[in-house]
């Protein structure tokens, strides 16, 4: 839940937002960069409201129905500062879904493994092209997104290098 709290508190740090705006930001702006999926935004918002991290106000614009507008409390600000620091310092061993397959590599026919690794390389190169394309479309004012893309590109390139080396070993 720490990532979700950090996500919601960080979005509200920019200023008050209604639920639909939070959902749109997560799906359209953040997901392509951080890959964090949220099934429901209202449950975590309700939980954070109960904890006193955010407050909910009712707002209305013109003839439109009432909307809930969420904003950060002082306690939420402090928790955000704590979570962002914790996030910077949290280091876990990276785990890739291929690692389990590599553990059992001795039981896989080499030709099949090579074919699967070539397929993985095709997919990784597609991801690299998509990230590079995204990078080219980032506005200069979105430096934080540029940093995320550079980090992701470094990781994808390292995975490409590793898989290429493994495929060569299997020949």
82 plus 160 within the same structural domain: no
Quick: pLDDT tens for 87-145. 888 887 777 788 889 999 999 999 999 999 999 999 999 999 999 998 888 877 788 88
Q: Is the pLDDT of residue 15 over 90?
A: yes
82 plus 110 within the same structural domain: no
Q: Residue 72: which domain range? A: 2-89
The SS3 of residue 17 is strand
What is the predicted pLDDT for the residue at 122? 96
The SS3 of residue 104 is coil
> Nearest-CA neighbor of 147 among 138, 157, 156?
138
Q: Is the pLDDT of residue 1 over 70?
A: no
Quick: pLDDT tens for 35-50. 777 788 889 999 999 9
What is the predicted pLDDT for the residue at 157? 96
15 plus 80 within the same structural domain: yes
The SS3 of residue 39 is coil
The SS3 of residue 73 is coil
């Amino acid at each position: 839940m720490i990532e979700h709290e950090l996500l919601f508190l960080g979005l509200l740090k920019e200023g008050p937002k209604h639920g639909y705006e939070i959902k749109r930001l997560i799906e359209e702006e953040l997901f392509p960069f951080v890959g964090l999926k949220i099934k429901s935004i209202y449950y975590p918002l309700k939980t954070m409201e109960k904890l006193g991290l955010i407050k909910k106000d009712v707002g209305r614009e013109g003839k439109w129905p009432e909307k809930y507008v969420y904003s950060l409390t002082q306690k939420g600000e402090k928790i955000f500062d704590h979570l962002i620091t914790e996030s910077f310092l949290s280091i876990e061993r990276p785990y890739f879904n291929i690692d389990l397959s590599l553990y059992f590599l001795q039981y896989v026919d080499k030709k099949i493994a090579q074919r699967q690794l070539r397929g993985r390389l095709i997919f990784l190169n597609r991801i690299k092209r998509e990230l590079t394309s995204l990078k080219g479309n980032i506005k200069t004012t979105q430096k934080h997104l540029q940093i995320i893309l550079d980090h992701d590109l470094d990781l994808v390139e390292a995975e490409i290098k590793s898989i290429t080396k493994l495929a060569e070993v299997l020949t």
